Amino acid sequence: MIFQDPFSSLNPRMMVSDILAEGMATHGLGSSKTDRDQRAAALMQRVGLAPDMLRRYPHEFSGGQRQRIGVARALAVAPELIIADEALSSLDVSVQAQILNLLKDIQSEMGLSYLFITHDLSVVRYLADQVSVMYLGRIVEEGAAELLFAGPLHPYTRALLSAAPQVDARTGRKRIVLAGDVPSPIHPPPGCHFHPRCPYARDRCRVEYPAREDAPDGRRVRCHFWRSIEPPSP
């Protein structure tokens, strides 16, 4: 796991060497403390930090450095899957790019899978192979990132992508502004949870939650009328 806030996810009473070695010891990795210390030093180098920083405490590092330590801690147990929960949101933009490139490099070298939870669509487009779009805690569309960004099927996905900032305003993309506010996830609306804000909602949407349907290109979508909605302009 890589947590969102690097300032609260590291134990302030432990040195970095102990933070990295804790997971190894728990999972029986490393034959001795010396071995675990050597592994920790290699992890520090892998995430772009000097091994001599192992004897420091978290408060002696910047936010970006702490998140690198968080990445090293996740790698310490030789995982096949890493869950990153908004791992970039608390960092400056320049530092975000550094951590994002680090994650890409580690993925290609170690063959890892990431479950990357984020609201940043540019990060999703850069990092993800497969994307799941959620509304009120339920997946409404999922599929290959390239297909989803090129032509979203679900009305919510379309509105979400239309709200993303554009570098070139001359492309003339139309912004989809949703009516109303997001309902309470504790007491969601009946039927399709998105129907109070959906511009394509019909009577069926208000009483029946849509089943997951398979699109010809392999994507999956939860919408009664996704086939009849006019395709978005390129």
* The CATH number of domain 16-127 is 3.40.50.300: yes
Q: Is the model's pLDDT at 92 over the cut of 70?
A: yes
Condensed to tens digits (0 to 9), the pLDDT of residues 97-148 reads: 999 999 999 999 999 999 999 998 989 999 999 999 999 999 999 999 999 9
Q: What is the pLDDT of residue 222?
A: 97
Residue 117 has φ and ψ, to the nearest 5°, of -100, 120
What does the chain look like in DSSP terms, one character per residue? -B-S-TTTSS-TTS-HHHHHHHHHHHTT-SSSHHHHHHHHHHHHHHTT--GGGGGS-GGGS-HHHHHHHHHHHHHTT--SEEEEESTTTTS-HHHHHHHHHHHHHHHHHHT-EEEEE-S-HHHHHHH-SEEEEEETTEEEEEEEHHHHHHS--SHHHHHHHHTS--S-GGG-PPP-PPPS-PPPSSSPPSSSTTTTT-TT--GGGGT-PPPPEE-TTS-EE--TTTTTSPPPP-
What is the mean pLDDT of the segment spanning 220-229?
A: 94
Counting residues of the chain whose pLDDT is more than 90, the rounded percentage is 75
pLDDT at 233: 58
Residue 162 confidence (pLDDT): 87
Question: Which band of pLDDT confidence, cut at 50, 70 and 90, is reported for residue 91?
Answer: confident
% of the chain with per-residue pLDDT over 70:
95
**Residues spanned by CATH 3.40.50.300 within the chain?**
16-127
Task: Report the range of poorest mean pLDDT among 34-43, 53-62, 164-173.
Answer: 164-173
